[in-house]
Amino acid sequence: MAQAQGDSDLAAILVSHDIVYDGVAWERHAASGRIVLRSLEDPDGTTSLGEWQIVEGARCLRWRPAMDWECYAVELDGAGGITMTDALGNAITGRLVPR
C-alpha cells in the first residue's frame, strides 16, 4: 500500500472524500478540522461529532475536547481503499468516495 506524499496531501484527500465502511458507517472530514461519523449499524443511525488533524502522516481524532487525541497510521492503496491502524495494531479498512 502507498502512503500519501505528505500531511497536506493526506488532508486534501480526506477533505475531498467521504470514507465509507461498508454497512457500518461513513465519515466526513471538514476543512475546519471537524469530523462527522455516522453509524449505520443502529436502525436509527448514530451521529458523532469530533475533531481531526494530520500529524506527521497520521490521522488524529478526538471526539470530545476533554479526550486525548488518538492517531492512526494511514495507508492508501491507490484504488480508493484506505486503511487506518492504531498504536496497538488494530486496523480498519474503508473506501474513499469523492464528494
**Per-residue pLDDT for 3 more than 90?**
no
On whether the CB atoms of residues 72 and 58 are closer than 8 A, the answer is yes
Angular region, 51: left φ>0, alpha ψ -120 to 50, beta rest: beta
**Per-residue confidence (pLDDT) for residue 1, from 0 to 100:** 41
- pTM to 2 decimals? 0.87
Q: Among 3.40.50.1100, 2.40.128.490, 3.40.50.2300, 3.10.450.50, name the CATH number for the domain at 7-98.
A: 2.40.128.490
**Per-residue confidence (pLDDT) for residue 45, from 0 to 100:** 73
- Cα(21)–Cα(27) distance, rounded to whole angstroms? 8
Tens-place pLDDT, residues 39-59: 987 777 789 999 999 999 999
